[in-house]
Structure 1
């Protein structure tokens, strides 16, 4: 989720501090788990490359749970559409979709409308329960009312996480978070139940292969943004908990990645009116391309670094109390942040093609 109001540019600074023209969105700073202390010392330069082993390397379809802040941003819609296209291509297996933004009764039905359009009307959907960040919705009610869907009563995200994870092989699930970290923090804290006797942190450790999270800005959010990135800032305690305590490898896709990859205008010209994602972008007030914050996280989570678009810089993520992020570069750790290594317009072209790919029949 990246809240970018059309016509409201966000100031982003280069590492040198010079102003840079950009799209729009707030910032955040991820934390890192003290239990994941690396033997390697902090490096004075980024430790980056394609071979960190933190992202998938190809082969079997990637089993994905998508955790989205749908309604609080527009690129959540694009991320879900891209994931469906990757699944249609045999690259991903979508296990469930979670909603992390609260206070929006239509959010789950809007997700179901997109899933239905893409030929997966029965995908499990969970919605956040308890206190959660919320934003005034700008398209969910219209998508729920205007497009086919049949979701009536979605379960709590944590309950669905536990159910889905319990049914998967050990070490097989990639969780992609493109919204707030609320569901993930609650999952870690969940007790054993009838689904599984394992506590949430142990269940994640057993079943998840990795977490790919859109949030923060790297290597230092304060050097890139005037305020912490939106996803982390809106629930900073959850972002800290996940960055510190998540038991599997994590790759963070920062603001600076999606901010430079502009997509979405193609929806209004090449996707049919029956496409709820097209309508959601229109209702958001999109005029032209937008930053692809959430879309790039999904692409990297499924394709990894194999096609040469991205590399991973390893180390440890420090999330401050306000959601700001600061990176410690180290070798051989279980955390990394994403960095583009090919022209951004090439990656944008790949994403636009996936955005408008016809749904499976």
Structure 2
């Protein structure tokens, strides 16, 4: 990256959601530790669990502060219980968990045996079992934002987008006199999303990905793309970054190992087969910025059609959109690093 381009990045605040980028492309050690709200649809896939494990790894390293977790895909009724179990397993039982109380969005198939994990309170010591046992998601998000400094919180979606939509359109309440739009604009630094996969393609074709389009989430994503008042960073990569094999060396009680084993078993596979690491890339990005494995697409914005798909339109400046892509030829090295971290279980 040349100095002229770096200067342009810094002047525009391009990486405002991540640690500041120094001239060598790494995080600025003087920047604040990222404060994050983690929004997931785990149950439909196991890479969400890997992403939360990676987030806990970075929290143990003092590189991120987990303010709270949101389970916004209500069709899997035990997702919040698994999130709470994971937080307990990693020694952070006080992380608050919010959940959708409706069943509007989400995968109708519990591919990861979420109910089994959520009900195993004897093993993991958690309190939340069903989504209704957690705090209501919008209430928790508003509460977390209201108590933080201005423009200090990164909201991460590694699943569907209705949770963030509900926050954005929320009304003033006893938590804050601000509307959702006002609260988000005041408190959130940026939105980091695993989404818009393959939107930047030579043909300029419209593409649909799981998080932004499926299971009823497309209209909510559409609203966010048009109306979110802070920078949005869309992460595209991980399809061939295979992780999970490292979990074979962890204890059988490791909840991440169990989640991967159960999901892969549902698909007729084993830990040897592993699983793509889509969601883990979003977590890597908030800590390392571009790091060794990511790069930014040419400046542009995301054009979104809830029926047909989305495409990255280069050269436009009308929105605060940024598309972050995985560098070519990095699959093996990236997988090795992520595998090591998600298997680094609590001692």
TM bucket, shorter chain: 0.7 to 0.9
Contact 1:221 1:228 in 2 (8 A): no
Whole-Å separation in 1 of the counterparts to 2:167 and 2:17: 22
Larger RCO: 1 or 2 (CA < 8 Å, sep 6+): 1
Match of 2:96 in 1: 124
Match of 1:346 among 320, 324, 333: 333
- Residue 219 (structure 1) shift: 3.2
Match of 1:238 among 211, 220, 242: 220
Whole-Å separation in 1 of the counterparts to 2:320 and 2:205: 26
Match of 2:143 in 1: 163
Whole-Å separation in 2 of the counterparts to 1:233 and 1:81: 25
Classify the secondary structure of the residue corresponding to 1:300.
helix
Match of 2:274 among 252, 270, 289: 289
Out of 92-101 and 221-230, give the one that drifted further.
221-230
Contact 2:207 2:310 in 1 (8 A): no
Gap regions ≥5 residues in structure 1: 1-48
Match of 2:117 among 127, 130, 143: 143
Contact 1:96 1:123 in 2 (8 A): yes
Match of 1:315 in 2: 300
Contact 2:242 2:276 in 1 (8 A): yes
Gap regions ≥5 residues in structure 2: 1-7, 21-26
Question: Relative to 1, partners in 2 of residues 1:250 and 1:227: Cα closer, same or farther, differing over 3 Å?
Answer: closer
Structure 1 position 330 matched with structure 2 position 315:
yes
Alignment of 1:46-195 (within 5 A): 52-56=14-18, 57=20, 58=27, 59-130=31-102, 131-138=104-111, 139-146=113-120, 147-148=123-124, 149-151=126-128, 153-195=133-175
Out of 193-202 and 225-234, give the one that drifted further.
225-234
What RMSD over aligned residues (CA atoms) do the two structures have, in Å?
Answer: 2.2
Alignment of 1:263-274 (within 5 A): 263-267=243-247, 269-274=248-253
TM-score, normalised to structure 1, is 0.80
Match of 1:357 in 2: 344
- Residue 302 (structure 1) shift: 2.1
Matched residues, number: 308
Whole-Å separation in 2 of the counterparts to 1:345 and 1:163: 41
Classify the secondary structure of the residue corresponding to 2:69.
strand
1:81-108 residue CA offsets vs partner (Å, 9 max, x unmatched): 0000011011100000101211233211
Whole-Å separation in 2 of the counterparts to 1:350 and 1:175: 24
